């Protein structure tokens, strides 16, 4: 393969990711391997991420590609003739612009421990041994693509704030001169603008520091989803909270001065920013469960169910619900996580039986095929079984938000928790005839 044989490939768009869908610009992924068959295999795996894939058949060809393009991640074969993967990595790290680009080594060499140790010493973020598992490789690459895009978004925001600060500084100076020449009473407004300028400058400095911290974290990242959750917490959570706070402040201070239509828009801004903040919180819980470790202890599920129902009853005093609570076993699980599962399922049953009066909710368990099966059944609006496969997906909703509130993350979180316990969760239902959710804990 010659110098012009490196190829950019636009992959299919089968990979689902909230972070990737928010950025229209595709990231570049560099795959380096001297064997065409291995290159084709890895391209086939990675192209489902829908990004730009660039291939190189040697270390030198890879270095030429890196001179002209930026890459979110490099997949680098270790055993190549001439310049091997380790030598290529050394030359990459010598370039200041490339010292933070994540490198994943791919190898089938039998002396695994020695090569893995050397790979990490050269600054690799991961080391994958053949045979390659497509899902694992695709998941690892997708995390670094997401982290790359988030970093680029943060940089763009920092530049926007810098330009905004520069423009605001010039306007404040001009206004200050005008106000000084007019009357003393307007000096209060000048001081407020100066304070706003200082706040904006501090925000800009904080953001630059966060960008610097993020770069260092990415260089040391071994836990991809933990880094991703950290990025969401700092890059999305705070701005949504700020938007909501500013919307409330405008309503409190300037509502009377606004037209009715403007007040309505302001109310919608506050509502949507609060909903987005809740979605971010739910996502963080989802990733926390996916990566976290937990302890198990014997838990009386019957007592836990009674506590949850007691808490819920205090919030639905205007509802008429007939509860039928059966027997529950004592199972070894994580108390806090299983409480989240049961609270979600029971709260959903209460929510989706809202049109019924009285509503009927039944909870219990039974033994089947050697394991305990717990269930929550209701006579609410139900769902079409044709859409059952969407129930436990992130942001998947079978009912309009105008009818029933929610972020679409609760059942996905419950599914993750159950799977972490080694169990399974599924549902049955009919439209307008109610639904039943079942789960086991792998015991």
In this predicted model, what pLDDT tens digit does every residue of 225-245 receive, in sequence order? 555 655 655 565 556 666 767
**Segment 133-149, tens digit of pLDDT:** 999 999 999 999 999 99
CB count in 10 Å sphere of residue 330: 12
Q: Cα 323 vs. chain centroid, distance in angstroms?
A: 36
> What are the structure tokens assigned to 431, written together?
């439209």
Q: In this prediction, what percent of the chain has a pLDDT beyond 90?
A: 32
Bigger pLDDT: 61 or 107? Answer: 61
CB count in 10 Å sphere of residue 387: 12
Tokens 């717990």 belong to: 374
Q: Which residues pair with 322 in a beta bridge?
A: 360
**Segment 353-367, tens digit of pLDDT:** 999 989 999 999 999
* Rounded mean pLDDT, 328-337: 89
**Rounded to an integer, what distance in angstroms lies between the CA atom of residue 435 and that of residue 427?**
7
* Rounded mean pLDDT, 370-394: 88
Q: Please report the pLDDT score of residue 435 as a whole number.
A: 93
Q: Please report the pLDDT score of residue 50 as a whole number.
A: 92
| Average predicted confidence (pLDDT) for the chain | 81
* Rounded mean pLDDT, 277-294: 59
Bigger pLDDT: 40 or 268? Answer: 40
> Which H or E run contains 427?
strand 425-430
Class of domain 297-439: alpha beta
Q: Please report the pLDDT score of residue 253 as a whole number.
A: 76
Cα radius of gyration rounded to whole Å, the chain: 27
Q: Pairing mode, if any, of strands 434-439 and 425-430? A: antiparallel
Q: Please report the pLDDT score of residue 128 as a whole number.
A: 87
Q: Phi/psi of residue 72, each to 5°?
A: -75, -30
Q: Please report the pLDDT score of residue 238 as a whole number.
A: 57
Sequence-ordered list of residues with C-beta below 8 angstroms from that of 245, at least 6 positions apart, any chain: none
pTM to 2 decimal places: 0.41
**Segment 4-38, tens digit of pLDDT:** 444 444 443 333 444 444 445 899 999 999 999 99
CA end-to-end distance (rounded Å), the chain: 55
> What are the structure tokens assigned to 153, written together?
């978004």
**Rounded to an integer, what distance in angstroms lies between the CA atom of residue 78 and that of residue 75?**
10
Q: In this prediction, what percent of the chain has a pLDDT beyond 70?
A: 78
**Rounded to an integer, what distance in angstroms lies between the CA atom of residue 262 and that of residue 180?**
33
Residue 72 in this model has a pLDDT that exceeds 80: yes
> Which H or E run contains 103?
strand 103-107
* Rounded mean pLDDT, 320-333: 92
> What are the structure tokens assigned to 180, written together?
């000084």
**Segment 398-432, tens digit of pLDDT:** 767 667 776 677 888 888 889 988 899 999 999 99
**Segment 187-217, tens digit of pLDDT:** 898 898 888 888 888 888 888 888 877 767 6
Residue 431 DSSP class: T
Q: Is 432 left (phi over 0), alpha (psi -120 to 50) or beta?
A: left
Is residue 422 a contact partner of residue 441, using CB atoms and an 8 Å limit?
A: yes
> What are the structure tokens assigned to 182, written together?
């007019």
Q: Please report the pLDDT score of residue 218 as a whole number.
A: 59
**Rounded to an integer, what distance in angstroms lies between the CA atom of residue 246 and that of residue 261?**
18
Q: Please report the pLDDT score of residue 346 as a whole number.
A: 93
CB count in 10 Å sphere of residue 187: 13
Class of domain 3-141: alpha beta
Tell me the pLDDT band of 179, cut-offs 50, 70 and 90.
Answer: confident
Tell me which residue of 92, 90, 70 sits closest to 25, measured CA to CA. 70
Is residue 301 a contact partner of residue 330, using CB atoms and an 8 Å limit?
A: yes
Q: Please report the pLDDT score of residue 320 as a whole number.
A: 92
Q: Which residues pair with 53 in a beta bridge?
A: 9, 29
Is residue 10 a contact partner of residue 52, using CB atoms and an 8 Å limit?
A: yes
Give the residue extent of every domain in the chain: 3-141, 155-291, 297-439
> What are the structure tokens assigned to 343, written together?
């609270």
Is residue 307 a contact partner of residue 277, using CB atoms and an 8 Å limit?
A: no
Most confident of 172-176, 236-240, 296-300, 371-375: 371-375
């Amino acid at each position: 393969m010659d110098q012009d044989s490196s190829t950019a490939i636009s992959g299919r768009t089968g990979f689902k990711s909230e972070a990737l869908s928010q950025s229209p610009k595709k990231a570049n992924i560099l795959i380096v391997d001297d064997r065409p068959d291995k290159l084709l295999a890895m391209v086939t795996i990675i192209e489902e991420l829908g990004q730009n894939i660039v291939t190189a058949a040697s270390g030198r060809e890879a270095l030429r590609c890196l001179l002209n393009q930026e890459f979110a991640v490099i997949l680098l074969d270790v055993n190549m003739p001439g310049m091997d993967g380790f030598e290529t990595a050394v030359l990459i790290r010598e370039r200041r612009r490339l010292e933070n680009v994540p490198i994943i080594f791919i190898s089938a060499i039998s002396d695994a421990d020695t090569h893995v140790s050397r790979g990490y010493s050269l600054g690799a973020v991961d080391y994958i041994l053949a045979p390659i598992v497509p899902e694992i490789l695709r998941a690892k690459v997708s995390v670094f693509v997401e982290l790359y895009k988030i970093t680029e978004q943060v940089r763009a925001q920092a530049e926007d704030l810098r330009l905004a600060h520069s423009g605001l500084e010039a306007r404040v100076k001009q206004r200050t001169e005008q106000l000084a020449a007019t009357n003393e009473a307007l000096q209060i407004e000048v001081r407020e603008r100066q304070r706003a300028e200082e706040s904006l400058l501090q925000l800009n400095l904080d953001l630059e520091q966060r960008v610097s911290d993020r770069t260092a974290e990415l260089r040391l990242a071994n836990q991809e989803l933990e880094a991703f959750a950290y990025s969401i917490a700092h890059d999305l959570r705070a701005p949504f909270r700020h938007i909501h706070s500013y919307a409330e402040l405008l309503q409190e201070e300037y509502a009377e001065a606004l037209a009715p239509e403007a007040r309505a828009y302001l109310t919608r801004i506050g509502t949507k920013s609060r909903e987005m903040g809740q979605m971010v919180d739910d996502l963080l819980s989802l990733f926390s469960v996916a990566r976290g470790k937990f302890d198990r202890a014997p838990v009386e599920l019957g007592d836990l169910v009674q506590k949850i129902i007691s808490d819920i009853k205090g919030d639905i005093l205007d509802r008429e619900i007939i509860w039928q609570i059966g027997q529950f076993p004592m199972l070894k699980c994580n108390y806090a996580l299983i409480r989240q599962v049961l609270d979600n399922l029971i709260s959903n049953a209460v929510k989706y039986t809202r049109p019924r009066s009285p509503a009927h909710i039944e909870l219990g368990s039974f033994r089947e095929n050697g394991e305990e099966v717990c269930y929550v059944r209701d006579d609410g609006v139900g769902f079409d079984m044709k859409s059952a496969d969407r129930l436990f997906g992130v942001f998947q909703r079978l009912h309009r938000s105008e009818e029933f509130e929610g972020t679409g993350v609760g059942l996905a979180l419950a599914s993750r928790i159950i799977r972490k316990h080694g169990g399974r969760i599924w549902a049955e239902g009919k439209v307008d005839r109610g639904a039943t959710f079942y789960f086991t804990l792998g015991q």
